[in-house]
Amino acid sequence: MPRWLVAVGVLATAALLLALPHVLSFSQREVLVFMTINILVVCSYRLLTLTGEWSLGHVVMMGVGAYASALLAKKVGVFVPLAMLLGAFTAAMVALVLSVPLFRMKGFYFLIGSFAAGEIIRLLWKRFRDPFGGPKGIKRIDPMPDFDLGIWNFTFFDPVSYYYFALLVVLAGLFVMWRVEKSPIGLVFHAVHWQDNLARSAGISVRAYRTLALVLSSGFAGLAGALLAHYIGTVNPNMFDIEQMVYVLTWAIVGGTATFYGPIIGCVVLTVVNEIVLREIGLEQGRPMIYGMLLIGTVLFLPKGLEDLFHRLSRIGLLFSRQPRGGQ
Amino acid sequence: MISFPRLTKRQFVQSMIAGIAAGTAAGLPRTALAAGETIRIGFLAPLTGDVAAWGLPGLQGCEIWAEWINEAGGIVINGVGHNIEFVGYDNEYDPSKARAGASKLVIDDGVKFVMMLGGDTWPAVQPVADQTGMLFSTLLPSDLGPDTPTLIAPAEVHPIYNVTGVEWLAENYPELKTAVICAQDDALGLPSVATYLAAFEGAGIEMLEDPLLFDPSTTDFAPVATRMLSSDPDIICLDTCYSAYVHPLMEQLFQQGYEGQIISCTLDFYDQITAKTSVEFMEGVVFQFPDFDDPALEADNVNFRDPGKFFDEFNERYPGQWGAVSWEYAAIMDLWKWAAEKANSVEPADVLAAMTETGQGEHIFGTADWWGEDLFGINNSLVGNWPVVVVENGTARIKEFRSIPDWYARHGDLLKQYMTDYGLMWNQR
């Protein structure tokens, strides 16, 4: 693709992302904020799946970042943006510790092990009311401090301001993850997934790379959790339970995980359908059923996810001319 | 991009709301109602998922209420009748969705009042209430606090009314001397545990074990029932368990041969429990939420229009759905309508002022006091009498209305102590 076309595409996307909240209603802007944060969660999840491991504890890592950031800001008085970064770091470090027992397992056993590890963390939040607040969690979490840039007064109760802030953070996170995947490290992740014995024979420490993927993905999930906590002002253990994990899995499966943009498509499409379209057309209480039917329909007719639809369209020249790299 | 002048947060948001109103004609808060304009009321509660039993039947009850009110000419403001329309939003008991829902109802839909279940979802909604000044109601007064004067608990003072059931039991069955309690370990279960512990201590009933707190994800209740039965209590208390827990717990107690007294905050869909156990097993179970065909609700002190007809209408439209909250949100609407007509305004601040100006209000179970500063830091809960309901021959019947303030006058210190022990006082949040 010509460079000028890429530049035009990037500028058009940037303009669209900046203008988007201004064509939405107030509540749709709220949904946009949550969707932006969730894109970071699902993309960080995909980073882990590159090594072939699927976890059921990813949203708990998001919760670790949320709790750590909330506690640092509320109890220690750490400046909120710094608390968010420290929350992400905490999630990464917790993942590093968990990797010791978890990577003694692989495949299905890793999946179950990650669920158990996540449940242990959630039980700790419930058990220790001090400092985690027990089942009620932590309330009145410090919001992002408002500030004025001259051209824009960032008042973070306003979803537009928080969307711009979250967008900046999420884009930075996505860029890092994209660079990691396109680097030699990303190639090793794929090798660990598809040819782990061959990778070992080439002197690659499979376990070290799996650990690296887990730590990185958990760090970004923790960052997403921190973004969420300081926006809604509360965290509790139920926000990071298996039901939320199923949402993340659904976004990843429906969107597809072969490409970088697959999970983003899944998250955007399902969020818009579930939170906006079905509510607007009066199917408020029928949403779980329709959501489930969409999932089943996608698995039956688009087993490689919605990204496969893009591939097919691109093949007939309607969309992008370049095939994605690194597919399953 | 737009450069905003330096404003306070509230001014900023209100100016933004006005801007959206101008741009979308979405019917946002105005100072005067147009003639015949429909008044929209928000309903922000779980309509799907595990906690839907405490949201959806409430919306269904409100829709019946609205039909009746609209047929009778609507709510009269400045001599003009206005129809009522409910706008529901399913928050799935998720704080993020509750915040988005509150924004939609208040800012996009222009509702004049928002009713919530509360609990885990309230903290995320609180900034919306604070910034917009919208009047919100909750069924859980543990959400109340002095920071948000526009949040009220006008129907259900959960879990404080549970003291009436324990007190009634102690007076009528003095031979019951020991008790055990179980509850899900969450924002609904724990305040109720603290209340029951205070009530049992106030009634001179000994707790044989520490409260058995189980995880909300529990699905196997056999060990919970076995553990409670192991200490051979006179009373088993099921706290404020969700119906998804009460049903299997009752089944387990039946299957494991328990023949003692049971007390529970709710007993939703008790006919289904009876079908799984027996009429004999269910005989004498004490709880707090009446069926509305109860003759006791025909008394003059009950402020609810034709409760028997409401019960029949509800069961005809939604068979098998009657539960603890079926009437509660409608009862809140009765109070709101009374206050709005008194104020000749539907603006949140005017309605709140009219509701609370005398320090008393017309609660569904009689005139009650705006109360709660001791426990919640603000007198925004309407507290008076509450019914004690007992299952007799397979039917729930009110045995007595008992005064919550009278109990509190005698044992309030106990309640404060237990609430403090569990970190539930408003200043411990």
Per-residue pLDDT reduced to its tens digit, A298-319: 888 888 888 888 777 777 765 5
CB contact under 8 A, A25 and B104: yes
CB contact under 8 A, B108 and A126: no
| CB neighbour list of residue A52: distance below 8 Å, 6 or more residues apart | A106, A107, A192, A193, A194, A196
Same domain for B357 and B262, yes or no, is: no
Percent of chain B with pLDDT over 90: 78
User: What does the alpha-carbon distance between residue A229 and residue A244 come to, in Å, rounded to a whole number?
Assistant: 15
Asked if residue B244 belongs to a domain, the reply is yes
Q: What is the pLDDT of residue B17?
A: 47
Asked if residue B209 belongs to a domain, the reply is yes
Range of the domain at B202: 162-287+386-428
Mean pLDDT of A244-255: 92
Nearest Cβ partner for B124 among A126, A234, A288: A234
Mean pLDDT of B26-44: 73
Mean pLDDT of B195-213: 97
pLDDT in tens, A190-220: 998 888 888 888 888 999 999 999 999 999 9
Does the pLDDT value for residue B1 go beyond 50?
no
Question: Average pLDDT, whole number, for chain B?
Answer: 90
Exposure of B36 by Cβ count < 10 A (0-12 exposed, 13-18 middle, 19+ buried)? exposed
Q: What is the pLDDT of residue B133?
A: 94
Which of A188-202, A205-219, B85-99, B155-169 has the weakest average pLDDT?
A: A188-202
Q: Which residues of A touch B3 (CB under 8 A)?
A: 150-153
Q: Which pLDDT band holds residue A4 (cuts at 50, 70, 90)?
A: confident
Strand, coil or helix: B361: strand
User: What does the alpha-carbon distance between residue B285 and residue B267 come to, in Å, rounded to a whole number?
Assistant: 9
A-B contacts (CB, under 8 Å): 120
Same domain for B72 and B133, yes or no, is: yes
Same domain for B41 and B66, yes or no, is: yes
CB contact under 8 A, B101 and A27: yes
Mean pLDDT of B56-69: 95
Q: What is the pLDDT of residue A306?
A: 87
Nearest Cβ partner for B47 among A158, A241, A285: A285
> Which has the higher per-residue pLDDT, B26 or A118?
A118
Closest Cα of chain A to B49: distance in Å?
9
| CB neighbour list of residue B294: distance below 8 Å, 6 or more residues apart | B307, B389, B396, B397, B398
pLDDT in tens, B328-347: 999 999 999 999 999 999 99
> Which has the higher per-residue pLDDT, B196 or B324?
B196
Q: What is the pLDDT of residue A301?
A: 87
pLDDT in tens, A133-181: 888 899 889 999 988 877 778 888 889 999 999 999 999 999 999 999 9
Test mutation, B63, B96, B130, chain A, max A CBs within 10 A: B96
Mean pLDDT of B127-156: 93
* Contact between residue B157 and residue B141 where contact means Cβ atoms under 8 Å apart: yes
Same domain for B378 and B391, yes or no, is: no
Same domain for B33 and B153, yes or no, is: yes
Backbone angles phi, psi at B66, to 5 degrees: -65, -40
**How many structural domains comprise chain B?**
2
Closest Cα of chain A to B280: distance in Å?
36
Does the pLDDT value for residue A92 go beyond 90?
yes
Q: Which residues of A touch B104 (CB under 8 A)?
A: 25-27, 30
DSSP string across B205-273: PEESSS-EEE-TT----HHHHHHHHTT--SEEE-TT--HHHHHHHHHHHHHTT--SEEE-S--TTHHHH
Q: What is the pLDDT of residue A157?
A: 86
CB contact under 8 A, B120 and A285: no
Test mutation, A22, A24, A30, chain B, max B CBs within 10 A: A30
Q: What is the pLDDT of residue A10?
A: 86
* Contact between residue B324 and residue B289 where contact means Cβ atoms under 8 Å apart: yes
Same domain for B221 and B280, yes or no, is: yes
Residue B13's Cβ-side half-sphere holds a number of Cα atoms within 13 Å equal to 21
* Contact between residue B374 and residue B310 where contact means Cβ atoms under 8 Å apart: no
Domain containing residue B137: CATH number: 3.40.50.2300
Mean pLDDT of A90-104: 96
Same domain for B350 and B397, yes or no, is: no
Q: Which residue of B has its CA nearest to A225?
A: B96
Asked if residue B87 belongs to a domain, the reply is yes
**Measured CA angle at B425 (ends B420, B428), to 5 deg:** 90
Q: What is the pLDDT of residue A1?
A: 66
CB contact under 8 A, A238 and B185: no
Q: Which pLDDT band holds residue B24 (cuts at 50, 70, 90)?
A: very low
* Contact between residue B286 and residue B260 where contact means Cβ atoms under 8 Å apart: no
Asked if residue B33 belongs to a domain, the reply is yes
Exposure of A290 by Cβ count < 10 A (0-12 exposed, 13-18 middle, 19+ buried)? middle
Same domain for B123 and B256, yes or no, is: no
Q: What is the pLDDT of residue B194?
A: 96
* Contact between residue B378 and residue B145 where contact means Cβ atoms under 8 Å apart: yes
Closest Cα of chain A to B257: distance in Å?
32
Q: Which residues of B touch A150 (CB under 8 A)?
A: 3
Closest CA to B289 of B317, B324, B255: B324
Nearest Cβ partner for A26 among B107, B216, B429: B107
Same domain for B35 and B148, yes or no, is: yes
What's the longest Cα–Cα distance across chain B?
74
Q: Which residue of B has its CA nearest to A143?
A: B127
Question: Average pLDDT, whole number, for chain A?
Answer: 90
Q: Which pLDDT band holds residue A257 (cuts at 50, 70, 90)?
A: confident
Asked if residue B295 belongs to a domain, the reply is no
Q: Which residues of A touch B123 (CB under 8 A)?
A: 139-140, 232-234
pLDDT in tens, B70-79: 999 999 999 9
Q: What is the pLDDT of residue A321?
A: 56
Asked if residue B134 belongs to a domain, the reply is yes
Q: Which residue of B has its CA nearest to A138?
A: B429
CB contact under 8 A, B104 and A284: no
Q: What is the pLDDT of residue A318?
A: 58
Same domain for B275 and B417, yes or no, is: yes
Q: Which residues of B touch A137 (CB under 8 A)?
A: 120
Q: What is the pLDDT of residue B168?
A: 97
- pTM of the model as a whole: 0.84
CB contact under 8 A, A241 and B217: yes
CB contact under 8 A, A134 and B429: no
> Which has the higher per-residue pLDDT, B383 or A282?
B383
Mean pLDDT of B270-279: 95
* Contact between residue B202 and residue B410 where contact means Cβ atoms under 8 Å apart: yes
Same domain for B13 and B76, yes or no, is: yes
Asked if residue B4 belongs to a domain, the reply is no
Closest Cα of chain A to B96: distance in Å?
6
CB contact under 8 A, B120 and A236: yes
pLDDT in tens, B384-429: 999 999 999 999 999 999 999 999 999 999 999 999 998 888 887 7
Same domain for B31 and B153, yes or no, is: yes
CB contact under 8 A, A140 and B16: no
CB contact under 8 A, B429 and A234: no
Asked if residue B238 belongs to a domain, the reply is yes
